[in-house]
Chains A and B, each alone.
Chain A
Amino acid sequence: MSAADTTTLGRRELLAGVAAVAASASVLASLPGADVAAEVGAPGPRKRRPSNVPLYDLEVWEAADLIKRKKLSPVELAEATLARIEAVEPTINSFANLYPAEEILAQARAAATEIARGRYRGPLHGITVGVKDIYLTAGKVTEGNSDLYRGFVPSFDATAVVRLEQAGAVIVGKTGTSELATATSWPARNPWDFERAAGGSSTGSATAVAASEVMVGMGTCTGGSIRGPAANCGLTGFKPTYGTISLYGIMPLAWSMDHAGPLVHCARDAAIVVDAIGGQDPLDPQTRPVAGYQLTKRLDTASGAKPLRRVRVGVPVEGDYFLGVPNDDQLTAFFAAVDVLKAQGATIVPVSTDVLLGGRLSSTSSIYDIIRSGEVAAFQHDNLRTRPEAMSEAYRSRVAAGVLMPGHAYTQAQRVRRLWRDTILSVFDHIDVLVHPADNIATRSGGPNPPQARPSSGSKTNVWNLSGAPAVAIPTGFDSLFNMPLSMQCVAAPGRDAEALLVADGFQRETDFHRARPAL
């Protein structure tokens, strides 16, 4: 029996209502429960939800509001989190390095003391966070699921970790990752169905949030490693504009496509995380020249019954690359989501894109693979020569291909990337945000799997790594056969992160898919 099949009260009602995809918002509106807006002072109208939500199931902004108003102590939240982890972690296996309980509680007590003394740091103060095990953490083993780094204890924190600590977050531990964010997978279980893939490479960050072991899972994304697992696990996963969150102290895969970002339950939570840790870092010359972000403020200014009024949302036309997804449920849920956006006031604009340059490219990987191999080879060629046995065959192949490819290959790919990028980003000349369905549904090795009505047109995620555009994946329902999460992305032009999140938030104000939790 899958985890989804055993979903309990509240979640069970929700799933029963939406098991066939694209359940309408009116079904969701019938859920019993307290008005969250009234309880925690949410900006703008939001859907009702059950009032008996366990602490560990709250969204960040809900818990933050309670903490700020001293209705909830970070210690209470940490204790609830530890109990949850003890209950589910033996099954889910999200963590590569779970910190000792006493250490977690000490962080929570420090936060509680500060808040009691009137020093509230902001909405991450006292919030539980898991950090992907390629973020360096001073004094804490950081292995990246690689034999190259077994037992490695960094002497400093990644900038993102420093900023999480400065924001008062309670860091619970290091979450499992695919080998150096690309190869051998991390053996976590998808909380919605233990037999189905959780996705990678930010695997443990996704499963930890989906299983309510933490409220924020920090991930990285070079070709889809935040949005892929977010889609598989029913989460909101945000890859901000390239250079928004410092990569300093994060093990690189491919510098020009690496992005750090959060996996959370909702778009508003993603905005909160970027506001807290984003911004220029003198230690990372690739960060954008922006001192700090105020994405949450932008979401909060969209109020009223039509929060998406004056927002132009592009929807791919029939036959477009971005509708070339294999499963019909995924498409059905997507178009139902577009209807919700329209009801929220968005102006829907049909758009065509030219992802494959008029058929000149067989795949975006024709550019992507060269750049990834060239950049990872620059980082790892010495280890390839001296310690190849410490790399999996899959990782070794990525590095070796970069070492052996012709020297001009990287430059040619970057030349075409410029041409391609300007072409793909031109879609934003006429719209504010492009929405499109996720490509896949979490698969099960050996099946049975959701039916594929057509072959995929190609990756729906690495497009936005190559272009640097902000993209947020959000849940849109559940497939009709296996009750596995469905997903879509909201994408904006680089630097327009708030617009992408605004559309995601507009959808989530009116739906409850992001509030569904698997029964564990």
Chain B
Amino acid sequence: MAFTDESALELARQLAPLWGLGEHQLPTTVFAGVLNGLAECEAVLAEMPQEETPVPATQVIPGWLQ
């Protein structure tokens, strides 16, 4: 189930103490998009045979275009 800003904030409240963050340091926006984006990224990767999944793009411009 997709995160909303509210449900993401609730998760942030649970995680924040682990990183020494308080109520005034929580993400009220963006976090839901990040978590939902992660779910989509993982779904894309899960559709592929693991041996064919890409390595991270650590170089923005591909070598074949440099």
Contacts and interface: CB of A to CB of B under 8 A. Distances in A.
Contacts of B62: 421-422, 425, 494
Contact of B44 (A286, A397, A419): A419
A368 B57 CA distance: 13
The interface residues of chain A, by DSSP majority, are classed as helix
Contacts of A242: 60-61
Interface string A399-416: 011111110010111111
A205 to B, nearest CB: 23
Contacts of B38: 370, 405-406, 409, 412-413
Contacts of B40: 360-362, 366
Nearest to A405: B34
Contacts of B27: 396-398, 400-401, 404
Contact of B21 (A241, A256, A403): A403
A400 B54 CA distance: 28
A422 B63 CA distance: 11
B41 A415 contact: yes
A456 B17 CA distance: 39
A187 interface: no
A-side interface size class = 35 or more
A397 to B, nearest CB: 4
B60 to A, nearest CB: 4
Nearest to B53: A415
Interface string A475-506: 00000000000000000011100000000000
Given A289-B66, A412-B41, A494-B61, A404 B55 contact: no
A404 B37 contact: no
A360 B54 contact: no
A185 to B, nearest CB: 15
Given A385-B20, A385-B21, A415-B54, A400 B26 contact: yes
A482 B26 CA distance: 40
A394 to B, nearest CB: 7
Contacts of A444: none
A360 B47 CA distance: 10
A404 to B, nearest CB: 5
Given A401-B27, A415-B53, A425-B62, A365 B42 contact: no
Most buried by A among B25, B26, B27, B65: B27
Given A385-B25, A404-B12, A415-B53, A370 B65 contact: no
B61 A241 contact: yes
Interface string A354-383: 000100111001111110010000000000
A369 B21 contact: no
Interface in A238-267: 241-243, 256-257
Contacts of B60: 242-243, 256-257, 286, 468
Given A385-B20, A389-B24, A415-B41, A369 B33 contact: yes
A409 B35 CA distance: 8
Contact of A361 (B11, B25, B44): B44
Give 6 closest A-B pairs by Cβ, nearest first.
A366-B37, A414-B56, A418-B57, A400-B27, A397-B27, A401-B31
Interface of A: 241-243, 256-257, 286, 288-289, 357, 360-362, 365-370, 373, 384-385, 388-389, 393-394, 396-398, 400-406, 409, 411-419, 421-422, 425, 468, 493-495
